[in-house]
Structure formats: structure tokens, C-alpha cells
Amino acid sequence: MRTRARGSALLTVLWLSAALAAIAFSLSSTVRAEIDRASTEVDGLRCYYLASAAVQRCALELLWSVQSPSNRLIPQGSAWMDYTFPSGIAHVEIIPEASKLDVNRAPVEDLYQLLIALGIDPARSQEIAAAIDDWRRPSQGSIFDSYYMSLTPSFRAPHASLQEIEELLSVKGVTPDIFYGTYVPAPEGAPGSGPRLVPRGGLIDCLSVYGAHDRVDANTAPPAVLAAVGLSPEAIAALVERRTMQPFTQDQLMGFLQSIGAPANRLRVEGNSIVTFRATARLTLANGQLSDLKRTVAAQMKYLDLGSGPTIHTLRWYDTAWSH
């Protein structure tokens, strides 16, 4: 009996040891996961402030460059800047609102051609272009009103100028992938092996409530906008390749367009005083390599005349932005 009791006690101790070991392993795994998650959150926050600093620095350097054209920190017509900080790097895209079309004033034909260039089929492009024009135009009633009233919840189209570009998400036919952009399969014959996806821009990249209504900035306008203002695919490819090597000046632009036989009445260099800065940052690790973690923020800023208060006014700030 005593031997059997000892065997039972030993078995109990073994089971308890196994249970405690399992609990300890589970606890250690949970703690490690929480530590990794906390570390990722900290790195994400550091990356956010790094990107924010890059936006502020680029905005100030652009102001100084305009005020001191003989000693520019940012070359005229630049579409991007790269910065190296002690804690990481940042790539800042400089996007003048003049690189986009004015959503409230662009002709319906320009809207249609823009949607075609974004890969939307002709019938749908025609409907969306008409719906945008209906949304912004004063009216006592239209063929689209019954559609908006049939939705849940229903609403009435304002039939007035758009105040924010996100209003387009409520326009008939405009889906999130058309507005924000998406990824599509790479065309056949593209370099690389196997199936892959390439980014396709959206309306938010091409239209703005502060955009140009006649001529767009040749150095930063997306290819879809260039197509909308009348450039052929060959002219777009040539212009994008040329501006990638060096931004255009106004004189260079006119001469280049003449050399390729492209119309010059819808293009210019630079434009209005509102610019969007979009920064993507990556941290530098202890071993000197770059972290895989990225964070993108953006700000839409308006430059005011000197002596009228703060020279740079932030119109919108995006804590989380999306970049190609």
C-alpha cells in the first residue's frame, strides 16, 4: 500500500510539474508577444514623428527656397526630397495642388478623359463624369436625385461646389477604389517574373478643390491628368521620362513640348500657393540597417504673403496617408 501511495504521489507531482511548465511556457510566450507588440508600437510612434518632422522641414525649406531663389535648398520644380536624420530616413513627395484639376471647374470632357486614363470603362466613366457635374451644378432636380433618395440613409445632392474632395465618395458611381486608387495586375510583357500588382491612382490623386482649372504643373501632374488635358500616351511617356531626370523650367517646358509636337496651352511650371507634402519614414536600426516598418503622413499647406501673420498655414493634416 505504501509503495502504491508513493507511486500515486510521484505521478501527481509529475502532472503538476507538466501543468506548471505549460503555464510558464504560455505566460512567457504571451509576455514576449506583448513586448514585441509594445516595441512595434514604439517604433511606429517614432516613425510617425520622423515623418512629421520631414514634412515640416520640407515645407520650411520650400519657403526659404522661394524667398532666396539664388540659394535654393529645394531645386525649382522638384517633385520630391530625401532627408537623412540620426534616427532614420524620410522620402517627401512635393505635390502642388496645381498638379491636379479643379473638381469644381474642370469640364465634363476633362473628367471623362481622366476616368478613362484611370482605367475605368467608357460607359461608367461617362456616368461618373455626368454625376460629378450634376453634384456641383445648381439644379432644381436631376436624373441623379432619385438615386440618392433611394439610398439608406437617403440624402439630397447639394448641387453646389464641393467643399472637400472626399465628397466625391458620395457621388453616384464613385467607389473607394476609384477614389483612393487600387492595385491592378501588371500588363503583359512587364519586366519581372510571375504575377504581380502595380498601383493605379485614384481621383484623390488627380482632383482637388484647390486644383488648376486651365493649366497644370508639368513637373508633378500624374499621367492620368496629363492625358485628361490632351497629351497623347507617347507625349506623356516622353514628358515623364524627361522630368524624372531634371525638373522643367518654364522655358525648357515650352521648347520640349514643341519638340515632341504636344500642345502647350494646358501645361505650366508650378502654380498656386497650396502644396501637399507626403512623407514616408523608416527608422535606422542599431546595426545600421533600415527597419521594414514604414509610416506615411501628409499635410496640405497654404503659403501666405509675408506680413499677414503665419507664413505657412496648415489646411489639413493626415496622420495616416497612403503612398505609392
Q: How many domains does the chain have?
A: 1
* Contact (Cβ atoms closer than 8 angstroms) between residue 273 and residue 303: yes
Mean pLDDT by 10 residues, the chain (324 residues): 64 76 73 63 90 96 89 89 95 94 96 96 96 92 90 92 96 96 77 69 94 91 95 95 91 92 90 90 91 93 78 90 67
* Contact (Cβ atoms closer than 8 angstroms) between residue 51 and residue 300: no
Residue 283 lies in a domain: yes
Q: Which three cell numbers stand for residue 57?
A: 522641414
Q: Which three cell numbers stand for residue 110?
A: 476633362
Residue 268 CB contacts under 8 Å (≥ 6 apart), including other chains = 98, 215, 216, 217, 218, 250, 253
Residue 9 lies in a domain: yes
Residue 7 lies in a domain: yes
Strand partners, 208: 102
Instruction: For strands 216-217 and 207-208, give the pairing.
Output: unpaired
Global confidence as pTM? 0.81
Place of cell 495616416: 320
Q: Which three cell numbers stand for residue 300?
A: 496640405
Instruction: Give dist(CA 286, CA 95) in Å, integer.
Output: 33
- pLDDT number for residue 195: 59
Residue 266 lies in a domain: no
Instruction: For strands 290-303 and 267-268, give the pairing.
Output: unpaired
Residue 26 lies in a domain: yes
- pLDDT number for residue 31: 67
Task: Give the 3-state secondary structure of residue 74.
Answer: coil
Alpha carbon of 310 to those of 53, 56, 91, 306, 307: distances in Å? 18, 14, 26, 8, 8
- List the domain range (segments joined by +) for residue 7: 2-99+273-318
Residue 285 CB contacts under 8 Å (≥ 6 apart), including other chains = 291
- pLDDT number for residue 241: 95
